[in-house]
Amino acid sequence: MGNRVPRRGHEVPWAWRWYLALGLAAIGAYLLVSDGVARSGCYLCVGLWAIGAKIAGVRHYRPTALLPWVLIIAGGLGAERRGHPRIFRGGTPSD
């Protein structure tokens, strides 16, 4: 990959397994809980989890073109921020 600066030192091959396991657990919790605040909280956690993965990827791979990734992350944060009021009203962000 010509557009990234290799990170010095250590690779973390186990990190993706943890991410996958915790992400699947959060999705499972979303499907298992009843409607309301708990389900909305699970929905928010899944979205924030995806944003965290993007941040971790940018920090790990250090792409030379950083602006597109910053904009993608900012857009995701904006979308999650718009979902917050629905959590406090008791609905799901997809309502």
C-beta separation of 54 from 79 below 8 A = no
Is 19 part of a structural domain of the chain? Answer: no
Which tokens belong to 15? 């990190």
Number of structural domains found in the chain: 1
Is 8 part of a structural domain of the chain? Answer: no
pLDDT(16) > 70: yes
Q: Which domain holds residue 61?
A: 34-95
Is 10 part of a structural domain of the chain? Answer: no
Is 94 part of a structural domain of the chain? Answer: yes
What CA–CA distances, in Å, run from 40 to 26, 32, 37, 47, 90?
12, 12, 5, 11, 7
pLDDT, tens digit (0-9, with 9 covering 90-100), for 39-93: 878 888 888 888 998 998 899 889 999 999 999 999 998 888 776 655 555 555 5
Is 28 part of a structural domain of the chain? Answer: no
The reported pLDDT for the residue numbered 68 is: 95
Is 9 part of a structural domain of the chain? Answer: no
The reported pLDDT for the residue numbered 1 is: 46
